[in-house]
Amino acid sequence: WMAGESREAPVYRREHFGPGAAVDGPAVILEDTGTTVVEPGWRAAADAGLNLILRRVVPLPARTAIGTHADPILLEVFNSRFMAAAEQMGEALRATAYSVNIKERLDFSCAVFDAGGALIANAPHIPVHLGSMGESIRTVVASRGEARDGRGMKRGDVYMLNAPYNGGTHLPDITVIMPVFLEADQTPAFFVAARGHHADVGGITPGSMPPTSKTVEDEGVLIDDFLLVDAGTLRDAGTRALFASGPHPSRNVDQNMADLKAQVASCARGADELIRMVSEFGREVVAAYMGHIQDNAEEAVRRAIAALKPGVFALEMDDGAVIRVRIDVDTATRSAVVDFSGTSDQRPNNFNAPLSITRAATLYVFRTLVDDAIPLNEGCL
């Protein structure tokens, strides 16, 4: 059985193959220690050292072009491919990181985003990271896209930030963002990002998570849309100066730099995977399925919402603050409104959540309502 059908195939003995002897498939070559099957379209030939070399001699037929319309089977293929890219990023980060936080405690997240910064797919990492990283990318796009900063984004650029006002969580979580350029494009086609919890970024206590912090400076060095790699060149001196700045600088800049390099390597792995997908399927198809994946997630969440009932909930925290949430469900449109009105005002302590964190938590809750095996992505909201 070869190439999808039953075929007659001659049988040869390996010892009869002298230097230069060759046979085209279909064929079977026997020897005392094994059997070689030569498929149709292939040729087996013995070289000067009597090694048996198999080469394809008949080109594969041209594949039917994949369209940009949504195909259920291809949707699952692209779901898996995008998630696999994020998983490869995570493995690269884990293998090359320096700190225990990232290498062993696995406090990191990696994900793939479209040209606008919308989350497309992720590895099974930290949900609150994944749902908020898109805002970090959109911050970079808003400030640097179309050369709004006077420079623009260049091939080989990498950015970093930890600002909770722009998609960050707390300051130890540093997000490294890499734009992915295709061919001779001047604008990014995609983005990849890796967020990792650094062991220390300064602050009033080691570890940069002081229980008594009241300002963002108490946690350490604030980073907002910093150019980490300039067109392929690491800005080592400038980055070190940044971590050594402020009233409470980082206590181990060398460790910060080592982990940042691992995050850059992780993003490079993700970029390579996306470029490989484009070379295999074409950019229009890859971009189209990024949209289809979000559309599919939206439909899955809408189906889940249709089975929900409205409700009002309240939770008092340790410091006396109250979180109130009201869920209004519209079964006709299969949509829901999550309203936090009545929640306590911002506290003079560290019991506060930035908007991106609130959004990330909401995104994750709606994703957990879906039984289908879909990646967490922007379409869930």
Name the strand (E) or helix (H) holding 86.
helix 72-96
All structural domains of the chain with their residue ranges: 11-56, 72-298, 300-374
Contact 330, 109 (CB under 8 A): no
Q: What tokens does 313 get?
A: 């909930």
3-state SS assignment for residue 110: strand
What type of residue sits at position 97? A
| Chain-centroid distance, C-alpha 343 | 33
- Report the alpha-carbon distance of residue 123 to residue 141 in Å, rounded: 23
Asked if residues 381 and 366 have their Cβ atoms less than 8 Å apart, the reply is yes
pLDDT tens-digit readout, 127-158 = 778 788 999 999 999 999 888 888 999 999 99
Residue 129, phi then psi, degrees to nearest 5: -70, -50
DSSP state of 2: B
Eight-class DSSP state of 177: E
Neighbours of 35 (CB within 10 A): 10
The whole-angstrom separation of Cα 294 and Cα 121 is: 9
Tell me the one-letter amino acid at 254: D
Residues 222 and 246: beta-carbon distance below 8 Å: yes
Amino acid at 236: D
Residue 147 CB neighbour total at 10 angstroms = 11
Backbone phi and psi for residue 95, each to the nearest 5 degrees, phi listed first = -70, -30
Q: What tens digit of pLDDT does each residue of 195-219 get?
A: 999 999 999 999 999 999 999 999 9
Torsion sign, CA atoms 269, 275, 281, 285: positive
Give the orientation angle of helix 283-305 with respect to helix 253-281, to 10 degrees.
Answer: 100
Q: Are 45 and 63 in contact (CB under 8 A)?
A: no
d(CA 206, CA 15): 71
Separation of alpha carbons 180 and 192, rounded Å: 7
How many other CB atoms are there within 10 angstroms of residue 372's CB atom? 12
Instruction: List the chain pLDDT tens, one digit each, 381 residues.
Output: 777 788 899 999 999 899 999 999 999 999 999 999 999 999 999 999 899 999 999 887 755 567 788 889 999 999 999 999 999 999 999 999 999 999 999 999 999 999 999 999 988 778 778 788 999 999 999 999 888 888 999 999 999 999 999 999 999 999 999 999 998 899 999 999 999 999 999 999 999 999 999 999 999 999 999 999 999 999 999 999 999 999 999 999 999 999 999 999 999 999 999 999 999 999 999 999 999 999 999 999 999 999 999 999 999 998 899 999 999 999 999 999 999 999 999 999 998 998 889 999 999 899 999 998 888 899 998
